[in-house]
């Protein structure tokens, strides 16, 4: 996919929350951290848990299945920085959040 895709209205995802969206058939975890949006691969590498449904605390999200925790700004696991989930480019235009998988 070589372009940004609109995924939801900004108002739908308040600060401190996460959501699951689908882009090009892939599940993406989207987070609002103090008005700045971040997108990660939607599945935890440990057991495939839904990161977009995880527990958000500041810039960290914990997988709801086994509590593996990732920094949403970098995709790095907080216990092992060598373990990452993919990050995706995000932009906000006209009140909508757009994600690019490229």
Give me 4's structure tokens: 């940004």
pLDDT at 2: 64
What's this model's pTM, rounded to 2 decimal places?
A: 0.94
How confident is the model over 65-71, as a mean pLDDT? 96
* Mean pLDDT of the chain, nearest integer: 95
How is the chain split into domains, by residue range? 5-100
Question: What is the per-residue pLDDT across 4-44, written as a single tens digit (0 to 9) for each?
Answer: 999 999 999 999 999 999 999 999 999 999 999 999 999 99
The SS3 of residue 41 is strand
Give me 47's structure tokens: 């057991």
Give me 7's structure tokens: 């995924």
pLDDT at 74: 96
- Rounded Cα distance, 66 and 64, in Å: 6
> Domain spanning 5-100: which superfamily?
Rieske [2Fe-2S] iron-sulphur domain (2.102.10.10)
What residues contact 67, with CB distance under 8 A and at least 6 apart? none
């Amino acid at each position: 996919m070589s372009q940004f895709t609109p995924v939801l209205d900004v108002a739908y995802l308040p600060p401190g929350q996460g959501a699951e969206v689908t882009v090009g058939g892939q599940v993406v975890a989207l987070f609002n951290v103090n008005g700045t949006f971040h997108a990660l691969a939607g599945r935890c590498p440990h057991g495939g848990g839904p990161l977009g449904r995880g527990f958000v605390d500041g810039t960290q999200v914990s997988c709801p299945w086994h509590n593996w925790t990732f920094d949403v700004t970098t995709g790095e696991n907080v216990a092992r920085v060598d373990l990452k989930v993919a990050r995706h480019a995000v932009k906000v235009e006209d009140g909508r959040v757009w994600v690019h998988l490229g």
